[in-house]
Structure 1
Amino acid sequence: MEEVIGRVFVERNHSGAVPIGSMPERYFVPRMMHAWVLIPGQHGNPSTAFCQRLVPVPRPKYGEVLIFVMAAGVNYNGVWAARGEPVSVFDMHGAASHIAGSDASGIVWAVGEGVTRWKVGDEVVVHCNQIGYEDIESNGGDPMLSPSQKIWGYETPGGSFAQFTVVQAQQLLPRPKQCSWVASAAYLLKLATVYRMLYGHPPHVLRSGVSVLIWGAAGGLGVFAVQLCRLAGAKAIAVVSDEKKVQYVQALGASTVIVRTRFPSLFTNASHGSTDWMQEAKAFGGEIWAATGKGNNVDIVLEHPGQQTFPLSCFLAKRGGLVVFCAATTGYRFEFDARYVWMQQKRIQGSHFAHMKQAHEANSLVMDGHVDPCVSRVFNWEDLPLAHELMARNEHPPGNMVVKVGC
């Protein structure tokens, strides 16, 4: 016997899951699937927190789509989910288990009622912003300000670290056919996040002649910030953690590269604001002032490390400039000298992923070949915890890591 789910037949006689790296017969939906799962009360380092399970394949509801996942991108929110920091994912959604993963490339396997734009067989990438369709901000406002807004795979329990995932139809974008399945899964969360940071907070927007200080320029966010600056004719001043990464970010378009390990006392929390810290901050700033060619600080600081770098970011933004941040991977409690902010009328702006139009515009840059996904390392399914452990220890290679699922 068969039943129809989302306009696709479901196999009644196949209770198990198909092996990782293979597909069910198109387009039959198995009862079960392989997934990497987090369990309440078992937070910890990614190497131990993630566990493999067989779980039921989710079913698409109205306005939703079932995706067969070909590959899944690795992002820092997977580390946060494993560790339960800054809050447990279970405090956000209350589900009995959590499948992380907020980037995916895959194939539309089934569609729910009300879906008209996508059909079974379409090859897609998934952006991670879920919204309530009836919210005011979702209709003429900024959907990222909607009270219903959630990050799929972090604030919702069913992400991309499984053979199948259910998403809202509005989360889908066409995948770049010139890219492999792996490359297609590498970029969208980080690229769209950076796109909003640099274009979504006027009047401080990326344009020709603007200077941008980019922390972690060889990392997943940084590689896209450098490329966007190159495309806009802006000056990318890239900060990296060691000399080995200098040529990498220069090849992406960085005009100046600063190796932060040359300034060790700047990044110890206890020294913020001390005389020694200020002297070294001015030495660090000297490299920026030489790069701007005018002895000026930068127009925009692209922040995500947080606690270790935020005091310097506020010091190095120019008068009337912008410090925009999207994360705090080194700590959530920031200190900075407020005098440099209020007296020089600098702006501090939080930024969170992107709405659908911004994600579409960012994706188009890859579709048109203007932005490289910068895949650094590809992991097999069984090595998913290792990928997150390397990210947690900041031992991952430059660029973006991806886990193979169905490919």
Structure 2
Amino acid sequence: MFAQVVRQDRFGDPLEAFRIEEVAVPEPGPGEVLVAVMAAGINFNNVWAARGVPIDVIAERRRKGEPWDFHIGGSDASGIVHAVGGGVESVAPGDRVVVHPGHWAPDDPWVQAGNDPMLAPSAKIWGYNTNFGSFAQFCLAQEHQILPKAPHLTWAEAAAPTLVGTTAYRMLLGWDGHRLEPGDLVLVWGGSGGLGTQAIQLAAAHGADAVAVVSDDKRGEYAVRFGAIGYLNRGDFSHWGVPPHWEEPSYGAWLKEARRFRKALSEIAGGRAPRIVFEHPGEATIPTSAFVCAPGGMVVICAGTSGYSAMVDLRYQWVLQKRLQGSHGTNDEQARAYNDLVRAKRIDPALGEVVPFHEIGRAHRDMANGIEVFGNRVALVGAPDAEAGASA
């Protein structure tokens, strides 16, 4: 099969790291499913894979005894089941499916005890920590990852949202004591992007209100189209990044700007503060997120696209009893619940840029360089065009 392959001697610029190569089609083992890929979603995790930092995913797998000296990424797929391994009963060749990214060892004692699999020692993100993701003519996944494709969606639309959508679902509905509830206010960073559009729609679907933070007014208008009650243009504020130490005179200027941001948010939300702050930029925004979060609320974060060295003023954290919660991936229950919303047409995949297979490297470089699109990026693999695949 043809695949977009990353190798260690090409780590760096994604445009150079990804190259089309011909490799053997993997054989599905027990509990595994081989899917003929129609389209593949593009996410930031394979920018990291192409760079080889913060983790060399090839070296990690080699240390664990896997033989592959290359990486085929891609954590979103739509396609047709081609073959199944032993013991697979829930899907069969010919089924039209999507793949969710939660991956773990079925014999992991933590999983067998009925605990959340994404907290298991064996938990991985498919197509990042594992090989044979969706950037190839065939991908290999575990049976429990396979979900029915929404018939009304094209292959490209169906490939767009599952990683970001299931991630957003876990962030908003996966944490005891801070699950999204009707009437909640949610502040959504990057409200016009892949994660943000899904978070906004999930909030609306559960009777909550979302305010988006975006980089310009056109993106704000796009977020409103998906259900945001308003937006904040981050270009109107200047306090991003790690703030000065609280004893330094310049801290006062940072605090003044943070308060101005909080006031603007309050005006949009009718005086409310967000009970949930939906975070993924990290270093540039965490100080503000922790500051504006409502007393007893939660800042939930799944990434650090602006950097990892975040600072939180602990006085606001402990006195106002706010929670900073990390979130990663999805379990089966959450993935199925999200996919049911997509199939019921309550969640739009927010398909943005569609690229041909040979431009997967370029699309990742654009993402790495901060060239944003509205919604989600997708690459065509087996699908002839972006309109193919809808059956209802």
> TM bucket by the smaller chain?
over 0.9
Q: 2:279, 2:299 within 8 Å by CA — same for their partners in 1?
A: yes
Q: 2:268 is matched with which residue: 291, 297, 303?
A: 291
Aligned to 1:68: 36
Point out the structure with max Rg over C-alpha: 1
Structure 1 residue 382 and structure 2 residue 355: aligned?
A: no
How many Å separate the matches in 2 of 1:45 and 1:270? Answer: 30
Structure 1 residue 258 and structure 2 residue 226: aligned?
A: no
Aligned to 1:90: 58
How many Å separate the matches in 2 of 1:249 and 1:145? Answer: 32
Q: 2:77, 2:159 within 8 Å by CA — same for their partners in 1?
A: yes
Aligned to 2:7: 39
Q: CA deviation at 1:143?
A: 0.8
Q: 1:266, 1:272 within 8 Å by CA — same for their partners in 2?
A: no
Deviations 1:222-241 (A, max 9, x none): 00111111111211011001
Instruction: Please list, as runs of the form range in 1=range in 2, the aligned pairs for 1:5-404 lying within 5 A after superposition.
Output: 33-94=1-62, 95-139=68-112, 140-263=114-237, 265-269=238-242, 271=244, 274-294=251-271, 296-404=272-380
Q: CA deviation at 1:270?
A: 5.7
TM-score by length of 2: 0.93
SS of 2:283's partner is: coil
Q: CA deviation at 1:396?
A: 2.6
Q: 2:209, 2:229 within 8 Å by CA — same for their partners in 1?
A: yes
How many Å separate the matches in 2 of 1:186 and 1:237? Answer: 23
Q: 2:8, 2:52 within 8 Å by CA — same for their partners in 1?
A: no
SS of 2:190's partner is: coil
How many Å separate the matches in 2 of 1:176 and 1:370? Answer: 11
Q: 2:242, 2:287 within 8 Å by CA — same for their partners in 1?
A: no
Q: 1:272, 1:311 within 8 Å by CA — same for their partners in 2?
A: no
Specify the code of the residue in structure 2 equivalent to 1:324: V
Q: 1:272 to 1:312 in 2, by over 3 A?
A: farther
Deviations 1:181-228 (A, max 9, x none): 110100100000000100000211112110101000001100011111
Q: CA deviation at 1:293?
A: 2.0
Q: CA deviation at 1:84?
A: 1.6
Q: CA deviation at 1:130?
A: 1.1
How many Å separate the matches in 2 of 1:105 and 1:137? Answer: 30
Aligned to 1:14: none
Q: CA deviation at 1:92?
A: 2.5
Q: 2:243, 2:311 within 8 Å by CA — same for their partners in 1?
A: no
Q: CA deviation at 1:272?
A: 6.8
Aligned to 2:65: none
SS of 1:162's partner is: coil
Q: Could you say which structure has the greater relative contact order, defined with CA pairs below 8 angstroms and 6 or more residues apart?
A: 2
TM-score by length of 1: 0.89
Q: 1:70, 1:404 within 8 Å by CA — same for their partners in 2?
A: yes
Deviations 1:306-345 (A, max 9, x none): 0000111111111111010000011111111111111111
How many Å separate the matches in 1 of 2:71 and 2:19? Answer: 11
Q: Once the two structures are aligned, what percentage of the paired residues are identical?
A: 45
Runs of 4+ in structure 1 displaced over 6 angstroms? none
Aligned to 2:387: none
- Superposed CA RMSD in Å reads 1.2
Deviations 1:22-43 (A, max 9, x none): xxxxxxxxxxx10111111321
How many Å separate the matches in 2 of 1:314 and 1:86? Answer: 25
Greater mean deviation of Cα atoms: 387-396 or 360-369: 387-396
Q: CA deviation at 1:135?
A: 2.2
How many Å separate the matches in 1 of 2:98 and 2:292? Answer: 37
Specify the code of the residue in structure 2 equivalent to 1:302: F
SS of 1:159's partner is: coil
Structure 1 unaligned blocks of 5 or more: 1-32
Q: CA deviation at 1:288?
A: 1.5
SS of 1:41's partner is: helix
SS of 1:197's partner is: helix
